[in-house]
Structure 1
């Protein structure tokens, strides 16, 4: 086992850190509200298929590329292409697009996560308990109208992420993941048990997993596939960097299975922690959309026994989930700055300042620029800077990256090299994964990308 400080110390450390990279706001914030607005069970069914047959194969391909190239995504892809002597488009471009995407994601991610921290502190002070719905709405509106307040909490969250990522792999990523990942599961389990006790657990289970006629629209299908991409963070090279830090003793298929299952468990637990409370309140709509977390849930917490304590627990959970992903999203950019000659702490601070600066586009989209639509003339009327960043990354960059990784591993790399990288090379599992990566994944991700181009 390698003892270098830029390698994980064990297989467990690798799994925990990489699972932390996959688990984030997409699971706790995104999955419940997207499942809610798409009707529940039908969406969940497609999401599970997309997770298993599209996102997971790309996830393993990203890890394979990272371990083969041993560097940041642009460096790893460039090294691998040079080693294989493969012509054609520069693979490093995909890595650079991914790093740009991680910075853009962090620019709005940190704002949403900062709000979670602010709400957690407010709940500890007794906020939300006994509040009327209009007071919750007014509180959320006042928070988003105050750019200075949002900037404070965004800066605190970004600063915390920088402090963690500035340390080396073992002192920063490993130690943090070993604390935060078990804490995340404990908090989710406590909330799910509480919700099942005071809420309508059977209605929530039926909504998420019951057999019913689904609204099989193209929009729902593509949202389910997109959510599968987002929840495991594939398509931007963020997972690739952990392949670079992975020891040779890690078996990629087994590690991928465990990580994807942990990611799925968090999403399902989040649904089981939220929907029993939603269905226990007849005046609450499960299809509340993005406002589910910061308006609908605080309204519910206000009616519950020990509502402030439950709210504090939930928003701490949201902050923890965001932090595990944020430090992972920073990792590729920091690694590239190190390769350029900067010390790790300097690179982390520089990247953090860049993220914080760009975050003002999202903060202003929530405040004074709510009616500013910068690309309205190009057909994106009604979309703020925040909408453009989020939709652009989710609808274009993620499928572009996923398609690129599938084509590189499935078609550009020699099959023998791919087989030599995996211990299951002679078994049926390899044939299923490799065939899926070569044929099914390009078709699905290509359709996802085309769907984003068609209004």
Structure 2
């Protein structure tokens, strides 16, 4: 039993790893990774993505977890507590508040994408997609995106499910959902990989993801790879920090982080191995962009044996992955409202309603605002509100917050306090990790920002 008034925590080390891995694993791995990897040519992008996980996003992920563990509060209060302890003068809480705003922005398009996945799953459950002609699939996508009320309904349905889970206490809601959803997600994904290997062109998919052909490295590729690494891990918006505050004292953070990063990488690559064999076997362009999941794959499912069942399994997988991440994205704002004296259930409901309201920007970007580029005057022509939110958060806010976390851990807090909180013994491994946190990760993020501005 947990003492009344004590800061909530997960029940065990395994529970923490499962739930936090679920936070990291989401639409970024299945929807985001596959279309960004496809758009950037596969192997070269994957190489930079792996390096970004190891030396940039991974250390920032661990830094955010550590701040949560040391602060034991919602992101703004955790940052405030550590700032006061370090006697620092910069407003660290500003980074946390920016992160909380970003959770709403990320969820606003997450809900729309996940809502469409839920709707497609329902269509597949009713026998849809199997044997469909191309115009039927195109028509389904067009009818969904031309109906703002329908998109709003499904976005609200997804956020209602998220809010219900978050409204329960930490162990019943977040931990309970993670223990159920994560094993199912892994089994479904492995099943789809096996199926794709039997039906599709696995050798071409492996060559595409891990072969290095005509690689053209430039600032945009590096920014996309690092942004995707941050997006798949969910670093920089406060969800990981909140979960870090729920971490038990018995958890060895470096070891747990390795397990979480391995699970995140496995799901991203497995998603690629589940999708690209089908793509190549069908002669479809891998660089189909964001429409890969909702336009290209349904066309492929229509020609497959048992296509309706495969489509249902895939969109159920997509929904489960979205839920495991959305509960972590909703949790930081709910935790902050709890600290302000509001009850958890109403707080979750209010924040879910806020997300659905903001999601209208993405909904209209898919509907009547397809050609509306609000920041065209400052050189961002061709970017709808959805694209501005998606790229702004993943390519700017998340890396910037990750940079701040690394600087706080590597420079502002005492080395001994950081080492004890991990915990790690003084010596080679800690010195290497601390050097990455102080020098490598901040320098890499700063160089990417400079490169992006000069490109």
Same fold (TM over 0.5): yes
Q: Deviations over 1:354-376 (max 9, x none)?
A: 00110111111111122222222
Q: How far apart in 1 are the matches of 2:100 and 2:40? A: 31
Q: From the superposition, tell whether residues 129 and 181 of structure 1 become closer, same or farther in structure 2 (CA, over 3 Å).
A: same
For residue 45 of structure 1, what is the aligned residue in structure 2?
47
Instruction: Tell me the residue number matched to 2:390.
Output: 390
Instruction: Name the residue aligned to 2:181.
Output: 180
Distance apart, 1:440 and its partner CA: 0.9
1:62–1:239 Cα contact (<8 Å) kept: yes
Q: Partners in 1 of 2:29 and 2:452 — Cα distance?
A: 22
**Contact conserved, 1:399 with 1:446, CA < 8 A, in 2?**
no
- Quick one: distance in 2 between partners of 1:370 and 1:279? 29
Q: Distance in 2 between matches of 1:195 and 1:238?
A: 33
Structure 2 counterpart of 1:405: 405
* Greater shift in the superposed pair: 445-454 or 160-169: 445-454
1:360 corresponding residue in structure 2: 360
Instruction: Report if the CA contact (8 A) 2:224-2:395 is conserved.
Output: no
Task: Label 1:148 to 1:193 Cα distance change in 2 as closer, same or farther (>3 A).
Answer: same
Q: Does the Cα contact within 8 Å between 2:22 and 2:324 map onto a contact in 1?
A: yes
CA shift, 1:218, in A, is 2.2
Partner of 2:288: 288
How far off its partner does 1:205 sit?
Answer: 1.0
State the distance in 2 between where 1:131 and 1:448 align: 44
Secondary structure, counterpart of 1:369 in structure 2: coil
| Post-superposition offset of 1:213 | 4.0
CA deviation after TM superposition for structure 1 residue 122, in Å: 0.2
Aligned ranges 1:127-206 → 2 under 5 Å: 127-206=128-207
| TM-score normalised per structure 1 | 0.97
- Residues 328-347 of structure 1 correspond to what in structure 2 (within 5 A)? 328-347=328-347
In the aligned structure 1, how far is the partner of 2:404 from the partner of 2:2?
Answer: 30
Structure 1 unpaired stretches of 5+:
none
Contact 2:2 2:8 in 1 (8 A): no
Tell me the residue number matched to 1:327: 327
Task: For residue 294 of structure 1, give the secondary structure of its aligned residue in structure 2.
Answer: coil
Q: Corresponding residue for 1:424?
A: 424
Equivalent pair of 1:5/1:169 in contact (CA under 8 Å): no
Q: How does 1:15-414 map to 2 (within 5 A)?
A: 15-86=17-88, 88-282=89-283, 284-414=284-414
- 1:329 deviates by 0.3
Task: Name the SS of the counterpart of 2:289 in structure 1.
Answer: coil
How high is the TM-score relative to the length of structure 2? 0.97
Cα deviation, residue 211, structure 1: 4.3
Task: Write out per-residue CA displacement over residues 321-367 of structure 1, whole angstroms, 9 at most, x where no aligned residue.
Answer: 00000000011110001111101111111101100110111111111
How far apart, CA to CA, are the structure 2 residues paired with 1:64 and 1:175?
23
Displacement of 1:423 after TM fit?
Answer: 2.5
After superposition, what is the alpha-carbon deviation per residue over 1:18-75, rounded to whole angstroms, capped at 9, x for unaligned?
0011000000001111111111111111111110111111111111110110011110
* Range 316-325 or range 133-142, more displaced: 133-142
CA offset at residue 426 of structure 1?
1.3
SS for the counterpart of 2:345 is helix
Higher alpha-carbon deviation: 416-425 or 329-338 = 416-425
Question: What is the alpha-carbon distance in structure 1 between the residues aligned to residue 103 and residue 450 of structure 2?
Answer: 22
Q: Distance in 2 between matches of 1:295 and 1:251?
A: 43
More displaced stretch, 204-213 vs 365-374: 204-213
RMSD: 1.4
Is this contact kept in 1: 2:238–2:329, CA < 8 A? no
Counterparts of 2:249 and 2:278, CA distance in 1: 45
Matched residues, number: 453
Relative to structure 1, is the Cα distance of residues 364 and 211 closer, same or farther in structure 2, using a 3 angstrom cutoff?
closer
Mapped contact 2:115–2:151 kept (Cα < 8 A):
yes
Distance in 2 between residues matched to 1:33 and 1:384, nearest whole Å: 18
Deviates more, 1:96-105 or 1:33-42: 33-42
Where do 5+ consecutive residues of structure 2 fail to align?
none
8 Å Cα contact 1:395/1:448 also seen in 2? no
Greater mean alpha carbon deviation, residues 350-359 or residues 220-229: 220-229
